Chains A and B, each alone.
Chain A
């Protein structure tokens, strides 16, 4: 008599409709079908993303409420002012887009990405203090930071060279239309009219597809603070971006 061939007993006889349980080890029905590699990486991303989401929710709540304990009121105020200034620039540029420079309208027709800073403020180029000598900063090619949920937009690659005897952070925002245009920068000014402006700002255009280079020299006598200025398209005289410098440390006494 031959042995009857039998189908192996199934691990479960009903559909598993709980996606969370499918990923949990030790759950009824085992650990699901995923192998250790894909399962553990999937779990890892779940844990991290959940955590980051909690942090974002907390930050959103904290931003609308009272200053956090221990926060320096002046620093907080300055930071809010910078944010307001940046927002105003942003709104203004968006209005310029709507009211219609020929190039902006042409870009729109061509499906070119909208104003980069509207999606990712502060992202086109950021140069840390270079230690007192002129040094090129890394030049991010894309304006959109990863992992923010913001759609990625094309933008202009920027190299920033700073000459400064003190720590400074430089933020450069350029619209996509700035690529290939002849650019000039206005002097960078503080909100306090009495503070001298930063006039030694030069912009070299992109060569052979390379980055636009922004060169800034910071005088030792400048007081600490934030200085902002616009970047202008020479051909149309329209604004195509902004430069912000946050200067830290004590100013040198005039000789």
Chain B
């Protein structure tokens, strides 16, 4: 990895450790352990990069705030992220998460849905606890931002699930970017940077710029993630390779394949995507993957990911350019390049 990007894993490790420590306060095992609290602890204990809480903490720090100002929002975000992951795994019938079987694969759908609900409720507790540090007014603003972020994410998830359920095949780039804006960007990049600036600047910052920066950064992140799903190293990626094809997800590569293919080939692509996961064969997935190579879908998606990262760099210079030099500012400015460099 490029030397100037080394700051990203270093900050992720540092702020990840801070968040995990604070997270443990909210995940103390108690009864009923077997059916709830042990399961709640499962996903958070599996690791992860801690990108979201680190982005929140670094933004607040870049504005001169102590970590204590943003730690509750960072913890809440990580809990909400894990809640989304559990529900995602149920909805997608996924088999593997962070290198191990998913919760629904191990404990069934019913208990898993309940665990997801419990994680989301625990996030609310963390947000309420922030009142002691931020005061009622600012803590209330953070809760408003959180409600908005969750609503956006849920709307994006509905689009993604609905497209697959109805086997939509006429989607285009705009549809994809709109869905990613809501489903991924809001909770991965927009919310963490907005809330970091909100608490760091004591509600004196104009937050529109963070929507732009967060959108482009989040879109680059999602497209790169989808590429890694097809091309990545299984051990590093932690999920089943080509899992998105097994699940029929409308990634940018799938949308481009549907656009570029014609006649019988397009009919076959649509027919495979229409099947439930259990009815898709290994040959089907391999054939889809080959078609993507033939039509240049991978290269095309890579170009779009780079374009999104470039726009994120531009937006970062606009919102962070006036801040005093700091390690946190360097981290924020390096993120768009790191998103593309990660394996």
Residue positions of A touching B, CB distance < 8 A:
23-27, 31, 35-41, 43-48, 51-52, 72, 75, 122, 126-131, 135-138, 140-142, 145-148, 167-169, 171, 246, 248-249
> Within 8 Å CB of B178, what residues of A?
47
In Å, the complex CA distance between A137 and B62 comes to: 11
Which residues of A sit under 8 angstroms from B177, Cβ to Cβ? 40, 43-44, 47
Residues of A within 8 A of B258 (CB): 26
The answer for the CA separation of A137 and B259 in the assembled complex, in Å, is: 51
Apart from A40-B308, A137-B64, A248-B137: 19 A-B pairs, beta carbons within 8 A: A36-B304, A41-B310, A41-B311, A43-B174, A44-B216, A44-B219, A44-B308, A45-B212, A47-B181, A48-B181, A52-B208, A75-B137, A126-B204, A126-B205, A128-B204, A130-B64, A136-B324, A148-B208, A248-B135
Chain B residue at minimal CB-CB distance from A49: B212
- 16 residue pairs bridging A and B, Cβ less than 8 Å apart: A25-B174, A26-B171, A36-B300, A38-B307, A40-B304, A41-B216, A44-B216, A47-B215, A126-B204, A131-B66, A138-B63, A140-B322, A145-B206, A146-B318, A147-B212, A148-B208
> Is there contact, CB below 8 Å, between A25 and B173?
yes
Contact of A128 among B65, B216, B311 (CB under 8 A): B65
* B271-290 to A contact mask, C-beta < 8 Å, 1/0: 00000000000000000000
- The answer to the question of B39 belonging to the interface, with a C-beta cut-off of 8 Å to chain A, is no
Distance (Å) between the CB of A222 and the closest chain B CB? 15
A142 to B303, CA, bound (A): 35
> With the chains together, A127 CA to B177 CA distance in Å?
36
B203 proximity list for chain A (CB < 8 A): 169
Task: Give the contacting residue for A169; candidates B204, B306, B322, B324; CB below 8 A.
Answer: B204
Question: Using Cβ atoms and an 8 Å threshold, which residues of chain B touch A40?
Answer: 173, 177, 303-304, 307-308
Instruction: Report the minimum CB–CB distance from B203 to chain A (whole Å).
Output: 7
CB-CB nearest 10 A-B residue pairs: A25-B172, A169-B202, A126-B204, A37-B307, A25-B173, A145-B206, A36-B303, A40-B304, A248-B135, A26-B172
Contact residues in B for A24 (Cβ distance below 8 Å): 172-174
Interface pair A122/B204, CB less than 8 Å apart:
yes
Chain A residues with Cβ below 8 Å from B319 are: 146
Encode contact with A along B182-210: 1 for CB under 8 Å, 0 otherwise.
00000000000000000011111110110
- Contact of B161 with A by CB under 8 A: no
Indicate if the CB atoms of B311 and A75 lie closer than 8 Å.
no
Contact of B323 with A by CB under 8 A: yes
A137 contact set on B, CB distance < 8 A: 64
The answer to whether the Cβ of B136 comes within 8 Å of any Cβ in the partner chain is yes
B211 lies within 8 A of chain A by Cβ: yes
Bound Cα distance from A36 to B253, whole angstroms: 13
Please tell me if the beta carbons of B211 and A128 are within 8 angstroms of each other in the complex.
no
For B170, list chain A residues within 8 Å (CB). Answer: 26
Asked whether B140 is an interface residue with its Cβ less than 8 Å from the other chain, the reply is yes
Are B66 and A148 neighbours in the complex by a CB distance under 8 Å? no
CA distance A138 to B322 in the complex (A): 7
User: What residues on B are CB-neighbors of A248 within 8 Å?
Assistant: 135, 137-138
Residue contact A51 to B259, C-beta cutoff 8 Å: no
B206 touches A148 (CB 8 A): yes
A146, B181: Cβ atoms closer than 8 Å: no
Contact B200 A128 (CB under 8 A): yes
Digit string of B10-53 for contact with A (CB within 8 Å is 1, else 0)?
A: 00000000000000000000000000000000000000000000
Which B147-178 residues sit within 8 Å CB-CB of chain A? 170-174, 177-178
